[in-house]
Structure 1
Amino acid sequence: MLGGTEFVGYAVTEAALARGWQVTVLHRGHHEPPPGATSVRGDRLDPAGLAGLGTGEWDAVVDTWSAAPSVVRDAANALAGRVGRYVYVSSGSVYTYPSPAGHAEDWPVVEGSPDAGDVEYAAAKRGGELAVTAAFGDRALLARAGLILGPRENIGRLPWWLSRIARGGPVLAPGPRDLGLQYIDARDLATWILDAVEGGLHGPYNLISPPGHTTMGELLESCKRVTGSDAELRWTDPGPILAAGVQPWMDLPVWVPRGELYDTLHQGDVSKALAAGLRCRPVAETVADTWSWLRELGGVAPQRPDRPVLGLDPEVEAKLLRR
């Protein structure tokens, strides 16, 4: 596991250990991997960062890297002769925008280079895909994940909603409440990846729940239920929210009104992954387990330093609620 101490990497490592697999985790040492994993220190931005993996053979490697594709290239080239299969956790962001409702793995992708340095997110993920494919060919598996939620989330989407609703009082609830959502629990993503490794799968797969797996209403009601909050969800049409300058996805995490962005983020075709065994747990379970984890941390979720802090300004929310 290249990285395995936070969110998706941790989920994959933990799930592999639960199967009795022997897992080696290369990480920088900022956090510890799950108990039972072999820990190897190394910073992949350092020219000598892969030295700890200089010897040894593995059945598979899982890589979640999201920055410079050249880092993925170097790892793939270094491990190509000693690893059976390379799983790269990519993103649906590699598809050209806008992606229509029902876009599948054959939808056109953005340009990318395996030799690129720091580039924007979509190009970085596409460059990583190209790097892995060049080194591993049909032994490369590209897990194009969509919105990822669940315990250990360090982006701040579901933790923000849980924290906001736990505070109680009137809560701006972006409508419509029956708006269908697509996401994947990090643990379901991890399970599918490990099954795919065992099954010898290769190539790209969209990894996200079926469209409409849950709704904004079910998501926020689940948050209210697990927190025991007295919050009053005030459902509001998109028009006034957008007119106030509120940014979908960023100010109100997970939510985007119907349109091009909605089709891109919440209307992808996942029939290929479902046929290959993808199973997605109910949203109530994801919400409850995330709240339990958040409470263990004292209510303060970790935040990735390379991602913006999400959530609606309380003053903006109060102003909209007064209207």
Structure 2
Amino acid sequence: MRLERLSLNEEQDGGGVESDTDSVQFPFEKVFPVYAMVGFSRPGSGSDLSVLNSGRDPIWEAVREEAKLEAEKEPILSSFLYASILTHDCLEKALGFVLANRLQNPTLLATQLLDIFYDVIMNDKDIQRSVRLDLQAFKDRDPACLSYSSPLLHLKGYHSLQSYRVAHALWKKGRTVLALALQSRISEVFGIDIHPAARIGDGVLLDHGTGVVIGETAVIGNRVSLMHGVTLGGTGKEIGDRHPKVGEGALIGACVTILGNINIGEGAMIAACSLVLKEVPPHSMIAGTPAKVIGYVDEQDPSLTMNHDAGKDFFKHVAVTFRKGRPSVASGKETKEVSS
């Protein structure tokens, strides 16, 4: 497997979501913690491609080293760790094994699912890239994620996202019935419902993931972070292109509902429990029901920092009160009643 340097701001086909590449790509700017773990030095910013051309996969090596250490510390898990990680020779096969065993049922056997996952993942370089970028996103942004092996083995947000990627590949090949069957199992097992036709970029974090719903024509750009309970839905009365489009680097808080074919600008930050019905400007902070702009984000990508107040005491700018049975939003000194 050959790794190439990837700029996370690189334009890709399909609105920055999908691309066709000749090799697996890797965000070396974000991956250097892995190199320290497995004895590599951080690649230089120039044309030093010695690590890239060595055929090494530092993410996979880190996962294996972690599994070996955990098997020594917790012998009761040694069989689980061996079957899930140590018996495999690459990240793709380990992931396929884990997903097949999580999603199996009496009529959709693990062996059948394993064949499907292997066939798709091992022959799709875009998915191979996404698997690693997503894994790095979980390790970088989720403070509860202390290792690279943890999302692979345990985190349903990661599992549902990678299962979706397989279903999406099947959908694009015209195998829609199988893709929808996978969607149903993903929703049933993980409590996360992602339509296989939705388009999701690389380096995405579904933190916890419980209750996330992503509609058929939704688009999510690269480096987006979504908390639990997020809905990217339609208004219920439209057909065709009817779901939100989330720009790169956006941070969407817990239980946010975004409805309709509207754009969420790059680097935007949406407060928990907001109801978003209108376009969101890039790098803006919005909150409320319905949501309104209450400030702007200094960081290029709030999704990477996971700093929900953006250094601006975010939630101090938002006070929800009730007057005459209707909510209002206080921003700074001025209080404006929110229309129902």
Whether TM-score is above 0.5 comes out as no
Q: Kindly name which structure, 1 or 2, has the bigger radius of gyration based on alpha carbons.
A: 2
TM-score interval, smaller chain: under 0.3
**Higher RCO, Cα 8 Å, sep 6+:** 1
- Report the TM-score when normalising by structure 2: 0.23
